[in-house]
Structure 1
Amino acid sequence: MNNGSFLLPVRTSSIHYTVSGTGAPLLIAPVSWGVDGHRWTTLDVLAERFTLIRLDPRGTGGSGDVTEKSEYGIPTLVEDIEALRSHLGIDRWSIMGQSAGGWTALEYTLAHMARAAKLVVVCSAPTGRFQKGTFRDPAHPLYPRYERLSQEIRSLPHDERVRQFNRAIYQYDVQTEGARAAIDRIFAATPFNAKRNQYFISQELQRYDVRDRLRDIAVPSLIIGGAHDVHVSPEWSVTMAERIPGARLEMMQGSGHFPWLDEPEAFFRTVADFLLH
C-alpha cells in the first residue's frame, strides 16, 4: 500500500485520506461533529509500527462537500469508511476511535464485523446521553464554569462559539502544561464545519445509542479510559468493557480525555501491545 495523500470518489462526493507507515492496517476513526480526521498529528507515532489510515469526513479537510443533510450523520461516515477499505483492498483492519470517534469505531465494527480485526475505543461512550458525571452535569464541580463560559460566548457566530468553547473547556481535560498547549494550538488552527456540528447536536446526540448492541461485538476489544476525564465520564469505559465480550479495560490514572497527550509512552505502548499480540 502506497503512502501519501489521496482522494476517493464516493457517490455524490469525495473522501480525502492519507496512508502512512508500514505494518498491519490501523484506521483512525474520525469524529462526525465538524472537524477533519488529521488534526491529531501526535498520533503519527503509530505509523512507526502500523500502516496508519486516516480520512476527513465529508465537508471537512480535503474531502468533498455534503450534498444532502443526512450525509452529516455517522451512518454515511461508516459507509465511506467501508468504501475506503474496499478501495484499498484491505481484507481486515483494526479500528481506533477516541471520544465521538469511538462512536464511529463502534458503529463501523457493528456494521462490518467481518472486516474488523481489533477494536480500540478511547475515552468514549456507547450513547449520546453521556452527560452524567461530566462538566455538563449540575452536580459536577466544573458546571458553574461551563455555565459561565456558555453565557460569555452566547452571542458569537456558531463556528466561533464552538471553537472557543472547545479551546476553553478542553483545558480542564488534560493534566499537563504541554498537553494544554497542544490542545490550544490544535483547536485554534483546526478548520471547523458549523453545519456538521449543528447536525451532530440536533440529530446524532439523540440517535446514537449502541448500549444494547455491545454484547454483539465479536472482535478483540481494548477500552481505554482517562481517570480524570471531565468530558466523558470514565464510568462509560467501565460499562463498555463489562458489556463487550472479552473486552480489556485500561484505565489511565494520569489522564483526562486525551491519554496520548497526558501519558504518551504508556498510551502508545498499551495500544501497540494490544494490536500486535
Structure 2
Amino acid sequence: MPHFRSYDDTELSYRVLDARDGTAAPPLVCLAGGPARDAAYLGSLGGLDGHRPLVLPDARGTGDSPTASDASDYAFPRLAEDVEALREHLGLERFALLAHDAGTAVAQAYAAAHGERLSHLVLLNPGARLQGELPDDAREIFESRRDEPWWPDAAAALRQLAEVSDLDEVRELLLRVAPMAYARWDEAQQSHAHAEAGQLNPVPRAGFWQGVDESARRALLARLSEPDCPVLVVTGALDAVTGLRAGELVANSFRNATLHTLPGVGHYPWVDEPETLCPLVEDFLTTPGA
C-alpha cells in the first residue's frame, strides 16, 4: 500500500486502481462514507476504473491508516486537509473528486477550503446534515417498500438499533436492516452488505461530526457558492438511507450543480446499477471542467 504524509506528518495509506483500458486519463480521487467505513466497500465503484485510475485513500482510523492521537483529527474538515495533502503528494494541480454518503461532507469541506483545486466534483447519495437539515423522505421510501419480504425483519431491527450500544449487536442489526439500502436483495447486494460489519470503525465514526460549531458550519456552507467546478449530485429513487431531498439541498448549496436521480437504485448505485452509474459519471468527468 502506498502512503503519503499529511499536514501533521502522519502517514496515511491509499490504493490506486489503474485504468483497465490502459489510458492515461486523469485520476479520480474517491472518498468513502460511513462515516469511518473502510474504503474497501467502494470496490471499483462498479467499474469506474475502466477509463481512468481511481485513487482511494484510507481515512484516519480506517483501512491501513493509523488511528489519530487526538479525536478532533477525525472531524470532517480535518479529513478534508488530508485530501489536500494527498493532492500535493500525487502532484496534481487540479483533480476530480468523488465522494459517497458521509464522505460527501469531507468533499464539501474540501470544496469550501480548496475549491480552486477541483476540476469536477461528484457527490453520491449525500446526506444533508451539513446543510442543517435531516429530511424524513428516506423514512417514506422505507415505508413504501413494506410489501417486500425482507421488510418486517428490517423494520424490527431498525427499531432496536436505537436501543443498543454493544458493537456486536449493532453489527448484527445493521445486517438485518441492510436490504433497505439497496434496490434489490440479490446475491450482489447481500455480498456487499455482509462485508459491512468488518469495515466499521466506531471511534473515528464518533469523531466525524465533532468540533464543528454552528458558526463554522454556516461559514463553510457560505463558501460552497465560490467554486467554479461543475458538480454532479446523484441520488437513488429507492435510497431509504439518505433519501432524495438531501441531494436537492446539497445541490442547491453550489452554483454549478446538476442533480440526477437514478430510478431503481438505492444507497449504493454502483452495486444496484453499475451499467447506469458508470456512463453517467464518466460522461460528466469528460465534460469541460472549471
SS of the aligned residue for 1:28 comes to: strand
* Paired position in structure 2 for 1:193: 201
Please give the alpha-carbon distance, in whole angstroms, between the structure 2 residues aligned to 1:80 and 1:48. Answer: 26
SS of the aligned residue for 2:267 comes to: coil
The Cα RMSD (Å) is 2.9
SS of the aligned residue for 2:2 comes to: strand
Considering Cα pairs closer than 8 Å and 6+ residues apart, tell me whether 1 or 2 has the greater RCO.
Answer: 2
* Paired position in structure 2 for 1:6: 2
For structure 2, which runs of at least 5 residues remain unmatched after alignment?
A: 20-24
Q: Which amino acid counterpart does residue 66 of structure 1 have in structure 2? A: A
Please give the alpha-carbon distance, in whole angstroms, between the structure 1 residues aligned to 2:258 and 2:68. Answer: 37
Please give the alpha-carbon distance, in whole angstroms, between the structure 1 residues aligned to 2:179 and 2:46. Answer: 22
Say yes or no: does 1:180 pair with 2:189: yes
Report the CA distance shift for 1:12/1:162 in structure 2 as closer, same or farther (over 3 A): farther
* Paired position in structure 2 for 1:246: 256
C-alpha deviations, 1:241-273, integer Å up to 9, x for none?
A: 344223222110111111111111010010001
Report the CA distance shift for 1:108/1:162 in structure 2 as closer, same or farther (over 3 A): farther
5 Å matches for 1:1-277?
5-10=1-6, 11=8, 13-22=10-19, 23-31=25-33, 33-43=35-45, 45-128=47-130, 129-135=133-139, 146=155, 148-151=157-160, 154-155=163-164, 157=166, 159-176=167-184, 177-190=186-199, 192-200=200-208, 211-277=221-287
Q: TM-score, normalized by length of structure 2?
A: 0.81
Q: Percent identity?
A: 26
| Structure 1 residue 41, shift from structure 2 partner | 1.2
| Structure 1 residue 38, shift from structure 2 partner | 2.6
SS of the aligned residue for 2:41 comes to: coil
| Structure 1 residue 21, shift from structure 2 partner | 1.5
SS of the aligned residue for 2:99 comes to: strand
Q: TM-score, normalized by length of structure 1?
A: 0.85
C-alpha deviations, 1:76-110, integer Å up to 9, x for none?
A: 21111111110111111101111101111111111
| Structure 1 residue 153, shift from structure 2 partner | 8.0
Relative to structure 2, which stretch is displaced further, 85-94 or 181-190?
181-190
C-alpha deviations, 1:186-228, integer Å up to 9, x for none?
A: 21442x3221222236667987665544433321111111111
C-alpha deviations, 1:144-166, integer Å up to 9, x for none?
A: 95575443784552x32443343
SS of the aligned residue for 1:130 comes to: coil
Q: Which amino acid counterpart does residue 63 of structure 2 have in structure 1? A: G
Please give the alpha-carbon distance, in whole angstroms, between the structure 2 residues aligned to 1:104 and 1:122. Answer: 12
Please give the alpha-carbon distance, in whole angstroms, between the structure 1 residues aligned to 2:286 and 2:80. Answer: 25
Q: Could you tell me whether the CA contact under 8 Å between 2:157 and 2:173 is conserved in 1?
A: no
Q: Which amino acid counterpart does residue 134 of structure 2 have in structure 1? A: F
Please give the alpha-carbon distance, in whole angstroms, between the structure 1 residues aligned to 2:282 and 2:72. Answer: 36
Q: Which amino acid counterpart does residue 29 of structure 1 have in structure 2? A: L
SS of the aligned residue for 2:119 comes to: strand
Q: Which amino acid counterpart does residue 15 of structure 1 have in structure 2? A: L
Please give the alpha-carbon distance, in whole angstroms, between the structure 2 residues aligned to 1:31 and 1:152. Answer: 19
Q: Which amino acid counterpart does residue 130 of structure 1 have in structure 2? A: L
Q: Could you tell me whether the CA contact under 8 Å between 2:32 and 2:42 is conserved in 1?
A: no
Report the CA distance shift for 1:126/1:213 in structure 2 as closer, same or farther (over 3 A): farther
| Structure 1 residue 117, shift from structure 2 partner | 0.6
Q: Could you tell me whether the CA contact under 8 Å between 2:41 and 2:195 is conserved in 1?
A: yes
SS of the aligned residue for 2:138 comes to: coil
| Structure 1 residue 62, shift from structure 2 partner | 0.6
Please give the alpha-carbon distance, in whole angstroms, between the structure 2 residues aligned to 1:49 and 1:170. Answer: 31
